[in-house]
Amino acid sequence: MRIELLPLETLQAFLVCAARVAALFSALPVFGSAQVPMRIRVALAVTIAMVVFPVLPRLLPATPLAPVGLGLLLAREALVGFMIGYIARLVFIAVEFGGAIIGYQMGFAAANVFDPTSQNQISLISQFQNVFAILIFLAFDIHHLFLRLIADSYRLLPAGEMNLGGEAALFLSRLTGEMFVLAVRFSAPVLVVLLLSGLALGLMARIFQQLNVFMLSFPVNIGVSFISIGLTLQLLAVMLNREFAALPERFHTLLNLL
């Protein structure tokens, strides 16, 4: 029985497709998490690449490449996939940073937990808001967007045509800077309540001078913060949905600049 092997150009084209898909999924907030076993991540990336590959024959290299040329092409395609995933991850970074701001202001500076996603110690409120953002990400089917984006990315930027110029770098830098503004927006409602709470405690300290406001401020700030977080979860969901809805436009802008 004779076994027919895949042509070399077909195998190389599949590797090029898999490089972009694997890098994209490794940078995604949910699928690229360290909580997901490596075997599952690899199997998922290969499966998606096998599904997308048959519809991309004209957008992939059709001739065999030298080992050096193939390695460079794989690296460039992986960079494209990583940048796409990085744009989506910025939203989750902003959520975690906003949670850290809230945690420090409410008195949870030392209350850190281990985050298996980043393998670091993060604020307790950051962990809570990050899990909430993941639930919104899945509830609004944002992960389906990336399945459509894989095919669209080859239509907007065929394999091997990436040209990382100044405009693309400035665009990514601007999005990274906006992440800090977005973090403040996520934490602003709770910060305003904490500011008003601090003003009220300051007035109490002036009126009741024998009152130990310093010891009273800890439970008051923690209680007020938890109530504010619970009341503003719907607002946070609306803000997250708006940011997730803006992702396709950002992806297309990046691919057009590359």
224-254 as b/e: b if 16+ CB within 10 A: bbeebbeebeeebbebbeebbeebeebbeeb
- Type of residue numbered 223: G
Give me the pLDDT at residue 169, please. Answer: 84
Q: Would you state the pLDDT for residue 16?
A: 79
List the structure tokens of 91.
């939203």
pLDDT at residue 57 in the model: 61
The answer to whether the beta carbons of residues 150 and 21 sit under 8 Å apart is yes
pLDDT number for residue 158: 76
Specify the pTM. Answer: 0.80
Is the sign of the CA dihedral 132, 135, 140, 144 positive or negative?
A: positive
CA distance 55 to 102: 47
Residue 135 pLDDT? 86
| Binned average pLDDT, 10 residues per bin, the chain of 258 residues | 57 80 80 71 81 69 68 84 86 87 76 58 78 85 78 78 78 87 88 86 78 76 85 88 86 82
Distance CA 99, CA 130 (A): 8
Give CA–CA dist 235/246, Å, rounded: 17
| Assigned token pair, 13 | 């084209």
- In whole angstroms, what is the distance from residue 94 CA to residue 71 CA? 34
Query: How many CB atoms neighbour CB 175 within 10 A?
Result: 17
* Best CA proximity match to 104, nearest among 123, 130, 128: 123
Integer Rg of the chain from CA:
23
